Homo-oligomer: A and B are copies of this chain.
Amino acid sequence: MPGDMPRHADLMERARRVIPGGMYGHQSTARLPASFPQFFSRAEGARMWDADGREFIDYMCGYGPNLFGYGFAKVEAAVDAQRALGDSMTGPGPVMVELAEAMVATVAHADWAMFCKNGTDATSMALLVARAHRGRRKIVLARDTYHGAAAWSTPRPGGVLPEDRAHLIYCRYNDPQSLEDAVREAGDDLAGICVTPFRHETFRHQHLPELEFARLARELCDRHDALLILDEVRAGFRLARDCSWHDLGVEPDLSCWGKAIANGHPLSALLGSERAREAAQKPYLTGSFWFSAVPMAAAVATLKEIRESDYLERTIRTGTALRDGLQQQAASHGFSLRQTGPVQMPQILFEEDDDFRLGYAWVEGALKRGIYLHPFHNMFICAALTEADVRETLEKTDLAFADLRRDAPGLQGPPPQIAATVAAMAGDRR
């Protein structure tokens, strides 16, 4: 950072002039504590630096893409090699075939692969393929689940028409009766059931899938000749070296992938079983950069590391150390955390903090000491995070808890930037 120039504040001011609201989308800090930086100048391994040069251990991993660490050498070497050949050409590179084969070899249910750019591309494509399968219309999904930001899925109403969701039927995640009811409502018009492998919504506790729910989803799709779609965009390869439900013995017909599959390079994918192959050829789906070779080369290298390294065991180990450490630490300061979901994708909320005042104050205390935690979104543990990083994190969070113990009595809640959300939830953080 040159001299004392408050570069970050200047950037925010400039951004307000040329970007609506100063920023938009999931990386907007509008609903985060005011001290959270909007712009980052650098990232490496498990760390990042904001535009004023402040260093953070990053527990967001770019909201998911960073699986092995920012700038992970083996993936970047594959990128270098492919860049020297070509990227966005008049057709795909041979690497597209290599990647499709690697995906099919890695994910048990998959017999084929199609690549795209956004997670939303993959989930939207899955809906079209499911509808093309038997020419039916109804898709059953879990209420309040994030499946992307297209008109059919985006969580805010601005610009969305009722017709965009005309044939979506909502059930409750992990509730077999509710799923059966939704399928009954679809009648003979059921195209598919689309669910995330576990429940990972903002502002809410996470929930692992109930075996009965997962099996019932599969059974209902079989019974009605509909397609089971697993939306792995956020969780893919974070829980398993296969679909997240593989160990449950439940295989989907279609699975949607994105985020981490190329360790930060822009790529998403729809994988499918033989049963869905014909339907996958019916819709016309494409994008200017869907066939670019460089992100595919990054994905081939990422998949190789997924198969050959102990990244999964390591992220579970560091994630467990973080969870256990925080739980004890919170108790020692008189607080109670509810940490939910897989340890490598933790959601960390305070018990008895329905208006998030404790959570917001605590992450601010951690942030000012160089630990970037999120107050309402699940986090991610990357394989570059070391046990020493976790120890450093816990040293800093201990200080943040001490601050919180001192400041809690004076806190007014909810934080104004999330007051409307908190009011709408009315304490329901199930």
Contacts and interface: CB of A to CB of B under 8 A. Distances in A.
Interface of A: 7, 11, 14-15, 17-21, 23-27, 29, 37-44, 48, 51, 58, 60-66, 70-71, 76, 83, 85-94, 96-97, 100-101, 103-104, 111-114, 117-121, 124, 127-132, 137, 149-152, 154-156, 158-161, 163-164, 166-167, 233, 258-259, 264-266, 268, 272, 277-292, 295, 372
B66 A88 contact: yes
Given A156-B282, A159-B283, A372-B90, A292 B266 contact: yes
A231 B37 CA distance: 34
A288 B91 contact: no
Given A51-B94, A287-B117, A289-B65, A159 B127 contact: yes
Given A61-B90, A158-B283, 9 more contacts: A18-B101, A18-B104, A24-B280, A40-B86, A117-B289, A118-B118, A119-B287, A132-B158, A266-B292
A40 B289 contact: no
A155 B283 CA distance: 9
A287 to B, nearest CB: 4
A14 B295 CA distance: 20
A62 B7 CA distance: 38
A110 B91 CA distance: 33
Contacts of A155: 284
A88 B264 contact: yes
A167 B161 contact: yes
A161 B132 contact: no
Contacts of A62: 88-90, 288
Instruction: Report copies per complex.
Output: 2
Secondary structure at the A interface, as helix, strand, loop or mixed, is loop
A378 B287 CA distance: 17
A90 B48 contact: yes
Nearest to A101: B18
B48 A149 contact: no
A92 B291 contact: no
14 contacts: A19-B96, A19-B112, A27-B91, A27-B291, A39-B94, A43-B86, A43-B90, A58-B89, A62-B89, A70-B87, A88-B265, A132-B158, A132-B159, A161-B167
Given A23-B92, A39-B93, A288 B63 contact: yes
Nearest to A61: B90
A27 B21 CA distance: 37
B86 A48 contact: yes
A118 B11 contact: no
- What 5 A-B pairs come out closest when comparing CB atoms? A25-B286, A158-B282, A128-B159, A156-B284, A266-B289
Contacts of A151: 124, 127-128, 152
B285 A154 contact: yes
Nearest to A127: B159
A1 to B, nearest CB: 11
A63 B90 contact: yes
B161 A131 contact: yes
Contacts of A291: 25, 27
A290 B91 contact: no
A124 B371 CA distance: 37
A150 to B, nearest CB: 7
